Structure 1
């Protein structure tokens, strides 16, 4: 049986979703307190600070709530990976892809019941160049689109990503990749390589429809070189995951994936949980069962 009384610390990104994170916490906090739980609220000054706050709350024995989008949730969950601490997700950002993969409800009453009564579920995390993340690591036109969307000040949510993706695709030159999956080296030209723990990325797109967060494996999705009209068709098929049936899309599985450029003279960013930590190369390693999360 779950404990009768849980202590919570909510780590909030005040800027997520145009300040929606702080607003979305109010009814949830009220429901938790009315049920007799104690909840403290910590506002982060940035992602690094969010990780520090999460680690401190975990040491105090609190259930740590990540309140925001995938970047904040990934940083908070990453800070808890391997610690045994309990993690809860309050989806309050633009994408909420990891929460979507886990089936975490957005309704405050349903989410409060889950956080108060739910049993912990062990899920995998990913170590990307030594930094724990949750959803996926990707390097290609999607990372460039991610950068474009993050720079957009007028548009929000999926609209920002659509416009950013369009700009990225129109300017894209096929990249020469070297992808190493559990020691097997592949040379590919194309649009992107994704090492996915979660099946969703990019605001609800099912990049890896068969990915599971508890199988100890990464789904590696390679979208190979194709004419732009065909690539736009692939982008549309990301809505339901049917793109994986195309011959231009290759899917593999492994525990360790290294993504690098096969030719000199070009730099590409890589993305992780909606953020852009750096440029290629990147090595992603699965961390089996590293996170204890309150999820259906």
Structure 2
């Protein structure tokens, strides 16, 4: 493998894990490319500016070292461009990398990128933003909003604590879900529009989602009491929630969500308030080092 690559490092990812492994990942990548730019960014604005600077010099490959927030920025840059994206997971969630079969070990992930394997994957689009994993609204988006404000604990435990805190205040609301096939109006607890399977640090909210079929998997949870939600959580962690009476699923290329004054989150990042129109864009991203889908 040769060409011009950039390694975007988000030092705070994984409570400093990205910073600790950055030197070894850079050394591994330099052995397989003609040029490697090291882009160290502490803010979204810095990250975007550095990526565009490298692109002006003829970038072939952008490797992102960090978690899902860092991957989200890489997706914004590479989507629709002739620049491949490589993911080296070093965050607390790593849901996009997990769904794509990318090794957990950063050096193994770097080796996979250098192997030359490539996969075209779909992305979701909401407004001007792209996303690779799941867009959610309702209870789970409010949980994400609360989890983002917490400084302790880390990883999935932070998400669990946010769930407990949010349960006290949450009430189901009327929601309208429109797709190219149907329109549903219901009292809803939450909705998740999945390009891939996981969110919230490994929760398989859309267990049958595939990133290369040109469709979203939509998981809807209707009216549910606090007690029912608490009882559903273990099933959710195990991907067995689809059999619950309050849960239904859809598959669609485009989803319009409106009716409830809920925030929307995609890849764990805020996407404004409903209404939102979400579109699946087939093959929008060239992904380096990802495994082909082995589940079919």
Q: What's the TM-score once normalised by structure 2's chain length?
A: 0.92
Alignment match, 1:13: 10
Q: How does 1:65-104 map to 2 (within 5 A)?
A: 65-104=63-102
Partner of residue 268 from structure 2, selected from 268, 271, 274: 274
Matched, 1:136 2:134: yes
- Residue-pair matches, total: 289
- Aligned to 2:64, the other structure's residue is in SS state strand
Shift of the alpha carbon at 1:14? Answer: 2.4
Please list every run of 5 or more consecutive structure 1 residues that lacks an aligned counterpart in the other structure: none
Within 2, Cα distance between the matches of 1:37 and 1:159? 41
Alignment match, 2:121: 123
Shift of the alpha carbon at 1:22? Answer: 1.9
Matched, 1:150 2:148: yes
Partner of residue 51 from structure 1, selected from 48, 51, 64: 48
Alignment match, 1:41: 38
Within 1, Cα distance between the matches of 2:146 and 2:98? 23
Deviates more, 1:56-65 or 1:151-160: 56-65
**Equivalent residues of 2:90, 2:106 under 8 A apart:** no
Within 1, Cα distance between the matches of 2:51 and 2:182? 37
Deviates more, 1:71-80 or 1:204-213: 71-80
- Aligned to 2:15, the other structure's residue is in SS state coil
Alignment match, 1:216: 214
Shift of the alpha carbon at 1:13? Answer: 1.9
**Equivalent residues of 2:136, 2:264 under 8 A apart:** yes
Q: What's the TM-score once normalised by structure 1's chain length?
A: 0.92
**Equivalent residues of 2:30, 2:36 under 8 A apart:** yes
Matched, 1:237 2:231: no
Partner of residue 59 from structure 2, selected from 47, 61, 71: 61
Partner of residue 194 from structure 1, selected from 192, 195, 198: 192
Shift of the alpha carbon at 1:90? Answer: 1.1
- Aligned to 1:19, the other structure's residue is in SS state helix
Shift of the alpha carbon at 1:180? Answer: 0.8
Shift of the alpha carbon at 1:245? Answer: 1.4
Shift of the alpha carbon at 1:271? Answer: 0.4
Shift of the alpha carbon at 1:45? Answer: 4.0
CA root-mean-square deviation? 1.7
Shift of the alpha carbon at 1:18? Answer: 1.7
Please list every run of 5 or more consecutive structure 2 residues that lacks an aligned counterpart in the other structure: 292-296
Deviates more, 1:5-14 or 1:163-172: 5-14
**Equivalent residues of 1:174, 1:225 under 8 A apart:** yes
